[in-house]
Structure 1
């Protein structure tokens, strides 16, 4: 597959996985209003999840050695989650990246981790930045708040050409009985074409 085809495949597969793992979140308020808080999916990838990724095996990534501190403000939590979840290194290939799982709702879709479908090549790193963040739907009765975020990732090796990708995602938070916000789901909505280094 050509270098130009890999980013498009990654975007397609990421959107496909989000539909399988987090489809009930897509209609945020109705779906969450009817959900049973005690009934969560286990934080593992099912055979259906793998089928949505084209049939490849996707391993569970390692738990983070240094858990990301959880900001108390919802906006700060969303930013910290997206930066940790969507960065990547060469060792993340065909795994779920779990650097942000300490910020997620146990048993929720985001607790699976973020699939890394095209890991950076040896010597390169991928960093994520949140370019814009705005509150969206909310269901305060059930402690739900959604945000729309514009995310940008840059993948490059020292001295190499950078590759940039942008997309919009909906991040759904849940406020637990302890008063803490946690990320329930991260649902990609749209992606822009990949760009060469800026």
Structure 2
């Protein structure tokens, strides 16, 4: 009769068992397989291979280069870390609705890709050097998208924005809490910009965004 180790219940043969080394090695290898750090190219490949994960399983994902573990409910990063992105260029907009790409040299959107922690909460910090061409508001906020389908998880808002009403160049930043995210799901946080009126040109320089997991 096969016996099992006391801590991880790994099978090993007894002297009274039928001699069958390949079968005994196979049983032990299969038992160990799910207890090692598994390696997969992507989360999709992991999920296709591990159809019935068990709490405590650990898997390395080549893309995005992340160690994940199964909590019993979802796959989540073993140690979520802050994500920081910056665009050192200068750009402007006179749009009164949020835009993610500015004119002039700042023609690339800044995207902070992150995986929601088990709490489903992150803190978003964003800022820039900002000024207005007139005494009207210049706004910098952020949109949070679900990466898999680009659906909006959190829309930009003046209540979650850096605001400057001055023609003086100012270094400004803000923070806000995002809740209700699906644990283990990848999201993209993207800064966006707008002006209170089309009569004002809002200018932004050295824009940054940081996402910190709440554990």
TM over 0.5, shorter chain: no
User: What's the TM-score, normalizing by structure 1?
Assistant: 0.30
Which has more radius of gyration?
2
Higher strand share: 2
Higher helix share: 1
**Which of the pair has the greater relative contact order for Cα pairs under 8 Å at 6+ separation?**
2
